[in-house]
A and B are shown apart, each in its own frame.
Chain A
Amino acid sequence: MISLNHYLILSAVLFSVGALGVLLRRNALIILMSVELMLNAANLAIVAFARYPFFREVGLAAEDLAVAGNGMVFVFLVMTVAAAEVGVGLAIIINLYRQRQTINIEIANLLQG
């Protein structure tokens, strides 16, 4: 039986993988993807919480429908925002590539100090 905790642990793992990706990779595109992974981990947690309101193991009571809806709508909004972020992000990365012919973030450190 898959319980809420399973989902939460999975989401924590995904979140950590994403965070590690941000820390370890040098390619701006991959960093952006890692961030998306983190957002999806959060989405997973939200959906799981929406599915298991008030720590009930199975089934949805009528009053929990609102809670479920609330969570799922939020997930959709987060996905939309993430999509917008990626759209803007790709544009910015392309611009960077045009300027420097690379998207390695270690090269982009004119601004420091």
Chain B
Amino acid sequence: MKTFAWLIPILPALAALANGLFGRRYINEWAGHVASAAMLLSLLLAFICTMIALPQGGDFVPVDHDYYTWLGAGTLSIPFGIYIDQLSVVMMMVVSLVSSIIFIYAIGYMRSDPGYVRFFTYMPLFTFFMLLLVMGNSLPLLFVGWEGVGLCSYLLIGYYYDRDYAADAGKKAFIVNRIGDFGFLLGMLLLFWFTGALKFSDLFESAPSSFVYAGVPITMITLLLFFGATGKSAQIPLYVWLPDAMAGPTPVSALIHAATMVTAGVYMVARLNLLYSMAPATLFLVGVIGGLTALYAASIALVQRDAKKILAYSTISQLGYMFLACGTGAYIAAIFHLMTHAFFKACLFLGAGSVLHAFHRTTDVDVFEAGGLRKVMPFTRWTFLISTIAIAGIPPLAGFFSKDEILWKAFSGGHLFLWGLGIAAAFCTALYIFRLYNLLFSGEFRGTGEQRMHLHESPALMWVPLAILAFFSICAGWLNMPLFGYHGFHNFLHPVTAQGHHLAEHAIHPPILASEHLLEWLLAIGSVLVALAGIAFARLLYVWEPTLASRMEESFQSAFTILYHKYHIDEVYDLIVVQNYMRCCRAAQWFDDRVIIAGLNGLANSANRAADTVRKIQTGTVTHYALATLVGMVFLVVWLFLCY
């Protein structure tokens, strides 16, 4: 495997290089094809890796191969190498598969964009870094990928650079991510200091002996690393960049801000599960942050008007689920949800992109201006519906199995509070996602007549990828159906987490309920019912009630504009949803604006003040400079005398 696995990340890098160097002169409109071809090739190779690993299942011995010693100075040794175990195989498959599909979709979507070549330079570059992130065999290599995807994300968010908000959003994403990276870097350096190892294989070997279970060092390190993850994976408090990141082209949102990059934090926690299992305090925090984020983001998604914003908050919320799972020690469930989420969220985003395409917009569409699209866009509608059901958690689609496993793990692990958060978030999820679906596709079109004229189904190059993603949104969940006693995915990944579980169980005996099959079934049915309630509620609000209302309006005042209609829905919303609940959502928004963003701004302001001071001191007169030198000298001498 090691003979060809290195090609998997290298191929997209080559495509990026080719497009970057020769794109404008020679490749031009073929840039998309070059990138897609490279991506499909690495998908093929990743598939071959999977085919090698899969039959061996849990017995598969991880491939750990150094191609080249990157750094090798004394105790510090970092190789350029790959580490392919069951976890990497899953991640490689997800990343290369979703990327391939989105690349092909983007050929159609970006066709008429002037920055076509630039787009297809950044995108393969991104995939290169992402594959490096999941395949690298050491923490610094993971960090290289981590930084690299951040950079590409920044470039792609700012893709429509002629718009101020796009450039600002890019900057925001970058800065917030850097704050997270600060934690990551510090955690990494501390880890190296304590264990003297940075390669995963060495780390897993030396960590159990280097750290005391639940000791301060391991807790500090895992907390710092998790802080990095909150930045990359958009969790409280560093999630603020993700909704703004929707300023980029839709395939970017689908690939980077939904399916792959934002899951890097989850991957990192799962990869280092051994360390996290030794730090129960961190795990507790991870779970709480994940649960809170899941509910918080889902509640914000309820009141948004922009389709992509809704999906962005939905992503944050789903990532929260994954961290919730990690927090309860159910790393495999987290990865499982990561995989299913990658499919249905990519499908949702690309579907939204298809709608934007119909509107001839590039970034945002007000859901209240859409409606009734099911007639003009049948393919988009059906694929969107499938992924909507998948995310809402209705069996037998993918989202149900993964979400249910997370909730069951939380419940059976005794984390009832987290389970409660998860269930509440599940209700919100079903509500907002069907609100979105209903507003987009049900009812009548609410846009202007001119817009209606231009509405059209997207070309096959776009809906075929949608169909493929929809297919996976249905089937991906069947890899693991604990309800029916099938644990394929779990058994495959089990070796990755075995050591960590072993360590954790040695130290304490968590109140794990015996796997009572009946209880599991009851809970599953319960969560389905909650989801169904959410769907019904959404249906009531946005389909049944408005038509009723509009018929009433017709009999009283026939000349009501679509604008009024929009307002009416808001009123119904206000009436039915309890005022307090709205206040809660607004409070969340307020908290977002005032506390988190203001905090970041405060930091920036103090930096600016310092900068001004420095600038004022620099008067331009030699005398003042000499004085500074003299004063500095006096202080230095006095200080040295004091220290001596």
Contact = CB atoms under 8 A, between A and B. Distances in A.
Given a CB threshold of 8 Å, the question of whether A touches B is answered with yes
Interface of A: 19, 22-24, 26, 31, 105-106, 108-113
A113 B627 contact: no
A113 B618 contact: yes
Interface string B588-630: 0000000000000000000000000001001111110011001
A22 B620 contact: no
Contact of B619 (A19, A22, A23, A112): A112
A109 B621 contact: yes
12 contacts: A22-B626, A23-B626, A31-B622, A105-B622, A106-B621, A109-B621, A110-B620, A112-B618, A112-B621, A113-B615, A113-B618, A113-B620
Interface in B124-160: none
Contacts, number: 29
B626 A109 contact: no
B626 A111 contact: no
Contacts of A113: 615, 618, 620
9 A-B pairs with least C-beta separation = A112-B620, A109-B620, A105-B622, A113-B615, A22-B626, A109-B621, A113-B618, A112-B618, A111-B620
Contact of A105 (B615, B623, B627): B623
A112 B614 CA distance: 11
- Classify the interface of chain A: helix, strand, loop or mixed: loop
Contacts of A105: 621-623
Interface in B366-404: none
Contacts of B619: 109, 112
A45 to B, nearest CB: 16
Nearest to B615: A113
Contacts of B626: 22-23
Given A23-B626, A112-B619, A113-B620, 14 more contacts: A19-B630, A23-B623, A23-B627, A23-B630, A26-B623, A105-B623, A106-B623, A108-B620, A109-B619, A109-B621, A110-B620, A112-B621, A113-B615, A113-B618
Nearest to B627: A23
B90 to A, nearest CB: 54
Contacts of A111: 620
A108 B621 CA distance: 7
Interface in B258-272: none
Nearest to B614: A113
Nearest to A110: B620
A63 B615 CA distance: 55
B288 to A, nearest CB: 48
Contacts of A109: 619-621
A111 B622 CA distance: 11
A41 to B, nearest CB: 15
A16 B79 CA distance: 56
A102 to B, nearest CB: 14
Nearest to A28: B622
A15 to B, nearest CB: 11
A24 B630 CA distance: 13
Nearest to A111: B620
Nearest to A26: B623
B459 to A, nearest CB: 55
A32 B140 CA distance: 52
Contacts of B621: 105-106, 109, 112
Nearest to A105: B622
A105 B630 CA distance: 18
B610 to A, nearest CB: 14
A31 B627 CA distance: 13
A16 to B, nearest CB: 10
B279 to A, nearest CB: 48
Contacts of A23: 623, 626-627, 630
Nearest to A34: B626
Contacts of A110: 620
Contacts of B630: 19, 23
A25 B620 CA distance: 16
B632 to A, nearest CB: 13
B431 to A, nearest CB: 55
A27 to B, nearest CB: 11
